[in-house]
Structure 1
Amino acid sequence: MNAKILLLLGVVAVAAADSRPSYSVPRYSSEESGPAQYNFQWAVNDAPSGNDFGHQENRDNDNTRGSYTVQLPDGRLQTVSYSVDGDSGYIADVKYDGDARYPDSDEVRSYTPPRPQYG
């Protein structure tokens, strides 16, 4: 009797192991493979900290246009405008607004680091 049960369990185990899940090719969806189309923009301008930067971009199929701005440490605002038309590559135009300001040599020499304090 035990041999018959073991044989039956063995046959069931082999049958269960042999049944593999079937996989099929996913169906085509126009949502997933449609042409790229988007636009976005964001900006930060915090006067107390001096942070002024942002980015905007528009894309329609293979054509992309955008620009970004960065407040540089020397006081100038750098604006990079760019475009990509298909396979033409990345084309950038860089502009600077304002005049670069550097500290006087006396101001740089007057800096002294804080003394370490041990508790």
Structure 2
Amino acid sequence: MFKFVALFALIAYTSGSPIVATPYGLAAPVGLAPSVVKTVEYDANPHYSYTYSVNDAITGDSKSQSETRQGDVVTGEYSFVEADGSFRRVVYNADPVNGFNAVVSKTAGVAPVAKVIAPVAKVLAPAYHGPVGYAKAIAPAYPYYG
């Protein structure tokens, strides 16, 4: 009995004690933190250009892309071989006057993708019929009260 009283007294004491939150670290005051000032120059005529291509003979992945920007005009193209073997090419142009325009062309593949189908067997294997077995049902291990 004494152990239960002591246990409940300890639980009541610990649950009633205040929890003091302590920070993990002290932050620097805002006034003392160094300020970072960056000067970003505006480029009135931005330009970039990139090109890449992938031709993987193992996986059959074949694609390419290129894009060029001169000021506010972006031109580019990308192409890839689709799963059915056809070749798709997209040529696009974007400018502030005409917006985004794309011309998509699709050509049939050089050789269609051939699916290999296993031939159907013309002679069926003979089915052998053995003797029919019989097993008695096993009664459940628990008693049935019903």
> Does TM, scored on the shorter chain, surpass 0.5?
yes
1:27: Cα distance to partner?
6.1
Partner of 1:45: 55
- SS of alignment partner, residue 74 of structure 1: coil
Partner of 1:63: 73
1:97: Cα distance to partner?
2.7
1:21: Cα distance to partner?
4.9
Q: 1:74 and 1:25, CA in 2 relative to 1: closer, same or farther beyond 3 A? A: same
Q: Decide which of 88, 93, 100 is 2:103's aligned counterpart.
A: 93
CA distance in 2, matches of 1:27, 1:103: 60
1:95: Cα distance to partner?
1.0
Identity over aligned residues, as a percent? 25
- SS of alignment partner, residue 58 of structure 2: coil
Q: 4+ residue runs of structure 1 moved beyond 3 angstroms?
A: 21-29, 99-104
Matches within 5 A, 1:72-91: 72-91=82-101
CA distance in 2, matches of 1:52, 1:22: 53
In structure 2, runs of 5+ residues without a counterpart are 1-28, 121-146
The structure whose Rg is larger is: 2
Q: Name the TM-score, length of structure 1 as normaliser.
A: 0.58
1:54: Cα distance to partner?
1.2
Q: CA RMSD in A?
A: 3.3
CA distance in 2, matches of 1:22, 1:73: 57
Amino acid aligned to 2:102: A
Amino acid aligned to 2:87: L
- SS of alignment partner, residue 103 of structure 2: strand
**Which one has the bigger helix percentage?**
1
Q: Name the TM-score, length of structure 2 as normaliser.
A: 0.49
